[in-house]
Amino acid sequence: MAASAKLVRGGVQEAAGNVEPRVLEPGAAPYGNFPHYSRFHPPEQRLRLLPSELLRRLFPPEGPDTRPILGLDVGCNSGDLSVALYKHFLSLHDGETGSEALDLHLLCCDIDPDLVERAEKECPFPNALTFITLDFMNQKTRKVLLSSFLNQFGRSVFDIGFCMSVTMWIHLNHGDHGLREFLAHLSSLCRYLLVEPQPWKCYRAAARRLRKLGLHDFDHFHSLAIRGDMDTQIAQILTRDHGMELVCCFGSTSWDRSLLLFKAKP
């Protein structure tokens, strides 16, 4: 598996090789690709809300040949949260493995090749976490790269997807239609989906940051019809339009974002 994963990563790096290095002013991250995101939104704030045994509850062992749990982390940034989630669910502390460690493999993707490169270099679990550069809204590239990973395990969907503070950036850059399309793809790819939507006040703050820097405003910000209570809006899209059910709300982080767990209906 590790050799195949390396091939996937190598192909992505080669494809991303022509991307010019970017130097962004503080706050100028039009896709949420802040270079030091975990400094102001530390992973611990989310982990304290999530039971460490969550994956064991959702995917109980079915026998001696239990298949691995496959996760998809969309918008992984520099990988800090991806690594923290992996350690949390496997109950890893100071490099020690719990006696009932899960066989968990995460495919972590981000639109920013610089952040992905840093995630790869700093990842302490290279055999379990694969990082790739991916614009999730590029249908052709998404299908090729996600299928390549899933095929290594003989699977067609992920067991669980993580979408942590990503929906706003999709919404601002691709509009109402783009948000609906994004959620449609995620719901079709994952048996369970953990979503952390940004509230509407974050949309205003993101637009305000760009204006202060004298940059072009988000193309869709003023024309969005989906607005207001974004937790409810996203939950309605997933449940009403894409056949998922809301299983649990794990509460809110200190920066007022809810963690919502959805399940695909049989």
Q: Is residue 228 part of a domain?
A: yes
Residue 11 inside a domain? The answer is: no
Q: Collapsing DSSP states into helix, strand and coil, what is residue 17?
A: helix
Specify the amino acid at residue 139: Q
Given strand 244-252, what is the order of strands in its sheet? 129-133, 104-110, 69-74, 158-164, 190-196, 258-264, 244-252
Q: Does any domain span residue 23?
A: no
Separation CA 155–CA 151 (nearest Å): 6
Report the number of distinct structural domains present in the chain: 1
Reported for 206-210, long-range contacts at CB under 8 A and 24+ positions apart, including other chains, are 206/168, 206/172, 207/172, 209/27, 209/28, 210/27, 210/28, 210/30
Residue 48 domain-assigned (yes or no): no
- By the 8 A CB rule, do 193 and 238 touch? yes
Kindly state whether residue 249 falls inside one of the protein's structural domains.
Answer: yes
* pLDDT one digit per residue (tens) for the chain, 266 residues: 333 333 233 333 333 334 444 444 545 567 776 666 555 568 898 999 999 999 999 999 876 668 999 999 999 999 999 999 999 999 875 444 444 578 999 999 999 999 999 999 999 999 999 999 999 999 999 999 999 999 999 999 999 999 999 999 999 999 999 999 999 999 999 999 999 999 999 999 999 988 888 888 898 999 999 999 999 999 999 999 999 999 999 999 888 899 999 999 98
Q: What CA–CA distance (Å, rounded) separates 266 from 255?
A: 34
CA-wise closest residue to 188 among 220, 145, 156:
156
Domain of 154, in residue numbers = 68-264
CATH of the domain at 115: 3.40.50.150
Note whether residue 1 is domain-resident.
no
| 8 A C-beta contact, residue 263 and residue 187 | no
pLDDT, position 216? 80
Nearest to 50 by CA among 194, 153, 182, 211: 194
| Residue 106 belongs to some domain of the structure | yes
Q: Give the model's pLDDT for residue 213.
A: 84
What pLDDT does residue 212 have?
87
227 domain residue, yes or no? yes
